[in-house]
Structure 1
Amino acid sequence: MLRKIYMYLLIVSTVLFTISCSEDYLDTTPTDAISADDALSSPENMMLILEGLHRQMYAQSPLPGAESSRSGQSHFIPALDAMGGNIIHSSPGNGWMTSDLQWRTHINAGSTTVENFWYQRYHFIASCNSIINEVAEGEFVIDEEMNNILAQAHAYRAWAYHQLIMTYAKGYLVGSPDTDPGVPLLLATEAPYTSQPRSTVAVIYQQIADDINTSIGYFKNASAAANKSHISINAAYGIKARIALSKGAWKEAADAAALARSGYSLIDEAAWKTGFNTTDLSEVIWGGRVIDAETNYFQSYFYYICSTFNGSQNRSNPKLISSELYNQIPATDYRADAWLPLAPNTNSGASNDQGGSYETDPNYDNDDDFWDAWEDIITTYGMTTGHNTHPYMNVKFLQKNPGTTDPDDVIYMRSSEMVLIEAEAKAMLGDISGAQNALAILGEKRDSAFDKTAFGTKESLMDQIKFQRRVELWAEGFSFHDNIRWDEGLDQSNSGAAEVLYQNGFMQAKPSVNPKWIWKIPQAEIDANPNLTEDDQNKY
């Protein structure tokens, strides 16, 4: 396995979350560390391992050899949406993710992005393996606390393998799962840790299904989740719904999604417009409750995506919604307020060559109106005078303390997503009325004029479901894998994206005929794993 992952050393690393990214992990002994021998000795210490995983979802990575700028879901949620075409960059900014949206990073086996995505998820798998195997081989009392620990370990392992198989292998619905190569399946914790060859996509999916079902079984007799950073039974059902959706198990997806959202009511207009900066929102099922001392500031999710964050990435490069998508939002849908189509283009370095003054911005014909509009946005949303604005910029994500670098929570799963999974699954089953009713749960909450009967065929339902996912879940990390599931390519011609900036990411053929939707296996893994050779690498 990459970097010769030693299971017990990785277990210790999960709790070393206060280490500076410049320190050498193996030479550091912080006061809150536990030894490798003690890591699995008690339920309390096993929970510490899981706490480390919760933090790895959003915080700077303390893993040996990992790049802190690719920190868990904080990085990969917006990166996948940049690659999937849902987030539009208005300029090169400070260079963040330029190579991702240009479709250069994930096809480079030596890139940090490719390596860290793989490495961090196998770290989750290794840590979960150690918990699961130690309990199976030991003499622990299986009480509510241990059921909770085992449930989360199995859920995390299912989540990690699902992330890997969707990204480094051909999509289940556009490929041949029984024969397509997947990723190495690692379940053991004993030496010599030399990893495994690539199992098929079908084999990995079977392990994922076994894990998530086992997780749910444990959760039924487990103590309650401590907070939303922990995986709960609802989050486990949500993971199951995502897994089933990605493989076309439509009834299973619909049923699991309904169970996942039970008890998590959809937010109203006032809550929707507060900025998606807290897991306290009623419909958040799973998310990172960010602790101030453990955030990653200029590598945080809000640094990448939030227009008010006081960082160079956002001051010069506010993130946009596709103008083509935005213009489909009805006037009766309050989500239209989450983007500003007439924001003045104040950045002279904007990639569409329309920035810098009213003379180049087609929406303005005089200097006063141009700069008055900029000032109004800056004042309304709490940005600094160093922030630029741009047409179609997002104000969906807003900091609790705008214009600062203060941390905010990171949301991984909402009940709105589960409603849309249920609607999609029922549409694909041909259950028109069931899909209409599911879609109406969200549509009527967001749009005062929503009429479910306008979508009376499978095709019209799917068109509306795709629209709703792209608007409701904008910048929440789904578009890259959605395109694979739907077998849809990229065409940014009418989005507002600049071809000079996007280059190869401006247009890509659909996944069923285009192997570039599959990420390269890290070269370091090919070099270190005796069971893999260059012949096992994904080819383009």
Structure 2
Amino acid sequence: MSYILKTSFLVFFVLVLTSCQEDFLERTPTDAISANDALASVENMQLVLNGIHRGLYSQSQTIFPGGNTARANNHFWVPMGDNLVGYLIHSANANNLGWRDNMQWNDHTIPTSLTNELLWYHRYNIIAHANLLINGIAESSFTETPELNEVLGQAYTYRAYAYLSLVQHYGRGYLIGNPASDPGVPLLFSTESPFTSQPRSTVQEIYDQIELDLDAAITAFGSGTGRTGGGAESKSQLNLNVAHGLKARMALSTGDWATAASEAVAARQGFSLMDESAWLSGFNSNTLSEVIWGSNVIDAETTFFRSYFYLASNTFNGSQIRNNPKIADRRLVDAIPSTDYRGRVFLPNAPNSNTSAANGEGGWANNTNPSYTTEAEFDAAIDSIKAVYGMVSGHNTHPYQHFKLKQTNPGSIDPDDVIYMRSSEMYLIEAEAEAMQGNIGPAQTALQALAGARDSAFDATAFGTQTALMDEIKFQRRLELWGEGFGYTDKIRWDEGVDHAANGGSGASQVLYQDAWQIASPSTNDDWIFKIPQAEIDANPSLSGDDQN
């Protein structure tokens, strides 16, 4: 029995705790529900789904026994993708939750690291829950109803989501390797203990299973109820659009360009692009029109100093941010046209107020910005930024800091929603997939629909070749999705390394970034592949030391 999956079955006995009631923290035996009871009705199955929903963003020990308080699951995993590749840049030396270790590649490259263990642990717990529902429904005598199909569709979608995450982190990139022979991750179909998994399946076998699950989800959703209710909470429920969106991501990762394009179009139906005001509002709520899927973080959830916004938002009142404002790559920011309103969330001219800044230029005494000729001007600019964005007195400012991610209540420690999928991403997937097929016109059309809505002067016809189009699509992805965690998988798909020194430099400190200052491309550097948790190798009879990445 594997170490990670050994503890998974315990969660079946606390599923009632995951309902959306304010008493969810009351952990008593009378709140328990057995695996059999969980399958007794569609309503109880929905409780299982509610457990997975909340498990996406809770501190990992809250829902899934055996976790750790230092990770609140997707609050960490989502921005991690941009933290690893130097899109979300640290301006000073702070290491709360190992966020600096992660940035320096001293985390996922170590088999005993908490990040490796908990990402694996979390995704397989999702799979174990999904298996409970999928297998239980298959073995039950329930009459097929739209409500039952909705549960089944979500279960299949969750299993596909978890396997896609696992294979993209613990397996070699599909397009840069040999998927038919490259080792992926173990497949698990068990419902009950013992959760003895198979040995590592190939990358291809994992992707085949993901596609089977998503096709099954799409079929089930087709006969389901659709999302019920409204508001931010309804978008925490997976639906047909989410299944199509995950299939678009999967197909993009494998180079199945035609499928990626068509699935992206299907995924975004009904989710109109945000206008300028909404785009600049902070990306803190599922209520934004183009949010297809996200976690609605309930007020009573105590993520606080474990949250996405604690790690990435410059308005959060926490030491990770106050002492270490997050900045964007100045090469990206400087390339944003003046006619593109997305540039307004970056402040390239902000004073460097942090005397502990990694570049050694913090404080008036070290000021190199010619815009500030007196200390009074320097201090006034700092005060103005703090007033506009709701920062507290302890917050530092720094050139190229961002305010894309802003809390609903800036300057607080309140958690906010975590967005996973937007229609903007689907336009970009369609554009890339069409461009990779050499379909210049359709790629331009998809790109114009998105970039033209952000930049009043944008003209996609200026990019008339596949190379020019792909360069622009990459730029648009980096800008539109900045801070939302897509950098890691994008660079693997594009086989791009990390180079903070090139083209005038990113603005990151070489002293702070150490070996992560320059990282060779994924096809030549196996450090892009996460290490399998050593505890899993030690305890799982289907794995050995030879299976370590």
**Match of 1:80?**
81
**Match of 2:493?**
485
Unaligned runs of 5+ in 2: 20-24, 229-233
Separation in structure 1 between the aligned mates of residue 500 and residue 215 of structure 2, nearest angstrom = 39
Separation in structure 1 between the aligned mates of residue 297 and residue 27 of structure 2, nearest angstrom = 24
Deviation at 1:141, TM superposition (A): 1.7
Q: What is the number of equivalent residue pairs in this alignment?
A: 531
Separation in structure 1 between the aligned mates of residue 119 and residue 258 of structure 2, nearest angstrom = 30
**Match of 2:179?**
177
CA distance 1:476–1:14, shift in 2 (3 Å): farther
Deviation at 1:235, TM superposition (A): 1.0
**Match of 1:355?**
362
**Match of 1:339?**
346
Matched, 1:111 2:113: yes
Aligned partner of 2:52: which letter? L
Matches within 5 A, 1:372-387: 372-387=380-395
Separation in structure 1 between the aligned mates of residue 327 and residue 400 of structure 2, nearest angstrom = 5
Aligned-CA RMSD value: 1.6
Deviations for 1:273-317, whole angstroms, at most 9, x for unmatched residues?
111111111000001111101241111111111111111111111
Give the secondary structure class of the aligned counterpart of 1:530.
coil
Give the secondary structure class of the aligned counterpart of 2:195.
coil
Deviation at 1:394, TM superposition (A): 0.7
Separation in structure 2 between the aligned mates of residue 7 and residue 311 of structure 1, nearest angstrom = 32
Matched, 1:168 2:170: yes
CA contact (8 A) 1:49 1:127 kept: yes
CA contact (8 A) 1:182 1:199 kept: yes
Separation in structure 2 between the aligned mates of residue 95 and residue 127 of structure 1, nearest angstrom = 31
Aligned partner of 1:529: which letter? N
Give the secondary structure class of the aligned counterpart of 1:310.
coil
Deviations for 1:404-432, whole angstroms, at most 9, x for unmatched residues?
11221111100000000000000000000
With the length of structure 2 as denominator, give the TM-score of the two structures. Answer: 0.94
**Match of 2:407?**
399
**Match of 1:367?**
375
Separation in structure 2 between the aligned mates of residue 67 and residue 478 of structure 1, nearest angstrom = 25
Deviation at 1:56, TM superposition (A): 1.3
CA contact (8 A) 2:236 2:293 kept: yes
**Match of 2:22?**
none
**Match of 1:239?**
246
Match for residue 521 of structure 1 among 505, 527, 532: 532
**Match of 1:51?**
50
Separation in structure 1 between the aligned mates of residue 65 and residue 103 of structure 2, nearest angstrom = 27
Separation in structure 1 between the aligned mates of residue 180 and residue 244 of structure 2, nearest angstrom = 25
CA contact (8 A) 1:144 1:223 kept: yes
Match for residue 467 of structure 1 among 448, 465, 475: 475
CA distance 1:30–1:84, shift in 2 (3 Å): farther
Deviations for 1:426-465, whole angstroms, at most 9, x for unmatched residues?
0000000010000001111000100111100111111011
Give the secondary structure class of the aligned counterpart of 1:320.
strand
CA contact (8 A) 1:241 1:421 kept: yes
CA distance 1:13–1:353, shift in 2 (3 Å): farther
CA distance 1:359–1:501, shift in 2 (3 Å): closer
Match for residue 149 of structure 1 among 142, 147, 151: 151
Deviation at 1:343, TM superposition (A): 0.7
CA distance 1:480–1:13, shift in 2 (3 Å): farther
**Match of 2:231?**
none
CA distance 1:130–1:6, shift in 2 (3 Å): farther
Task: Report the more deviating stretch, 386-395 or 28-37.
Answer: 28-37
CA distance 1:308–1:202, shift in 2 (3 Å): same
Separation in structure 2 between the aligned mates of residue 112 and residue 146 of structure 1, nearest angstrom = 37
Give the secondary structure class of the aligned counterpart of 1:512.
coil
CA distance 1:13–1:122, shift in 2 (3 Å): farther
Matched, 1:204 2:227: no
Separation in structure 2 between the aligned mates of residue 315 and residue 482 of structure 1, nearest angstrom = 29
Separation in structure 2 between the aligned mates of residue 199 and residue 15 of structure 1, nearest angstrom = 34
Aligned partner of 2:394: which letter? G
Matched, 1:416 2:435: no
**Match of 1:291?**
298
CA contact (8 A) 1:7 1:130 kept: no
Deviation at 1:17, TM superposition (A): 4.7
Deviations for 1:321-377, whole angstroms, at most 9, x for unmatched residues?
100111110011111101100111111111111112253343433211111000000
CA contact (8 A) 2:132 2:191 kept: yes
Deviation at 1:233, TM superposition (A): 0.6
Deviation at 1:34, TM superposition (A): 2.1
CA distance 1:7–1:367, shift in 2 (3 Å): closer
Separation in structure 1 between the aligned mates of residue 204 and residue 405 of structure 2, nearest angstrom = 37
Separation in structure 1 between the aligned mates of residue 16 and residue 103 of structure 2, nearest angstrom = 33
CA distance 1:372–1:31, shift in 2 (3 Å): farther
Identity of aligned residues (%): 53
Aligned partner of 2:497: which letter? G
Deviations for 1:98-147, whole angstroms, at most 9, x for unmatched residues?
11110110010000000000000000000100110011111112101100
Separation in structure 2 between the aligned mates of residue 68 and residue 436 of structure 1, nearest angstrom = 46
Separation in structure 2 between the aligned mates of residue 4 and residue 58 of structure 1, nearest angstrom = 20
Aligned partner of 1:9: which letter? L
Deviations for 1:42-96, whole angstroms, at most 9, x for unmatched residues?
1111110111111111122222221122222111111121102211111122444
**Match of 1:502?**
513
Give the secondary structure class of the aligned counterpart of 1:285.
strand
